[in-house]
Amino acid sequence: MQLSKTEEKLMKLLWKKEKAFMKDLLDAYDEPKPATTTIATLLKRMSDKGFVGYTTFGKSREYYPMVKKSDYFSKHVNGLIKNFFNNSASQFASFFTTETDLSEDELQELKKIVDSAIEKKKK
C-alpha cells in the first residue's frame, strides 16, 4: 500500500520525531499550518493503512510509525525499477548516472558503494 503526497509529508515528520502527539506534528509544519482536522484525517487514514499506530493517554493520542522509513522507500525504489526499468537494476543505474547531473566526486562515491557491496557479496 502507498501513501499520498500529503500523507507521506506527515509520515516523514513522524519518522523524524519517532513518537508525537497531534500538537507536536502540527508544530513541525511550516506556515501556513494545516488544520487540526486535516492532520486528524490523515492520521486516521494512515492508521487504517497500517502505517501509523498510537497509544492513548486520556483523550490524547501519541502517534508512532509502524513502518520503517528504509522499508517504505526501499519498496518504492524496487517498484520504480520494476515498473520503469523492466526490473533491471543496471538499467536504473545507467539512467541514474547518465540522466542526472552528478559530479565526478558523487560518481566516485557511488563507485565506492558499489565496490563495497560487491566485496560483501563475495564473502
The 10s digit of each residue's pLDDT in 54-69 is 999 999 999 999 999 9
Class for domain 5-65, per CATH?
Answer: mainly alpha
The pLDDT, as a whole number, for residue 79 is: 83
Instruction: Round the average pLDDT of the chain to a whole number and report it.
Output: 92
**What is the average per-residue pLDDT within 43-54?**
96
What is the band of 41 on the pLDDT scale with cuts at 50, 70, 90? very high
Predicted confidence (pLDDT) at residue 1 exceeds the cutoff of 80? no
What is the band of 77 on the pLDDT scale with cuts at 50, 70, 90? confident
Q: Concatenated DSSP letters for the chain? A: ----HHHHHHHHHHHHHSSEEHHHHHHHSPSSPPPHHHHHHHHHHHHHTTSEEEEEETTEEEEEESS-HHHHHHHHHHHHHHHHSTT-HHHHHHHHHHHS---HHHHHHHHHHHHHHHHHHH-
